[in-house]
Amino acid sequence: MTYVINDACIGEMDGSCVEVCPVDCIYEGLTKRYIHPRECVECGACLSTCPVDAILTPDEFNDAPDVFEDNARFFDEPLPGREQPLGDPGGATPLGPIGVDTPRVGPRKDK
């Protein structure tokens, strides 16, 4: 189990968490960010920098199992409009924004 970013992040693309992540495991979808479950080292650097307290720890899995499952889908299943899953790219920076979210998060909704 690893850290994940919940729905409070939708539309909040501050990026503070990305800046402090020592292993570059926080990926940008269209309207939300996702933590790669096999790249995260659970250091906790991102927890205090999130402006909307959207990052959940493994201890909080029972509070939001759908969020943990959806986070894994971002990497393990083909995203809308893509034929292959992201898999294990080895860092978010070389990829840049992915430009799509999981179906659970859905298309961008204007606030």
In terms of pLDDT, which residue wins out, 62 or 42?
A: 42
Task: Tell me if 107 is assigned to some domain.
Answer: no
- Per-residue pLDDT, 63: 78
pLDDT (tens digit, 9 = 90+) per residue, 45-69?
999 999 999 999 988 878 788 999 9
The pTM assigned to this predicted structure is 0.91
Task: Tell me if 96 is assigned to some domain.
Answer: no
Instruction: Give the C-alpha separation, 69 to 16, whole Å.
Output: 24
Task: Tell me if 23 is assigned to some domain.
Answer: yes
- Per-residue pLDDT, 110: 46
Domain that holds residue 29: 4-76
Task: Tell me if 102 is assigned to some domain.
Answer: no
Q: Reduced to 3 DSSP states, what percent helix, strand and coil does the chain have, rounded to the nearest 5?
A: 25, 10, 65
Total domain count, the chain: 1
pLDDT (tens digit, 9 = 90+) per residue, 2-13?
899 999 999 998
CATH number for position 21: 3.30.70.20
Q: Which residues pair with 4 in a beta bridge?
A: 56
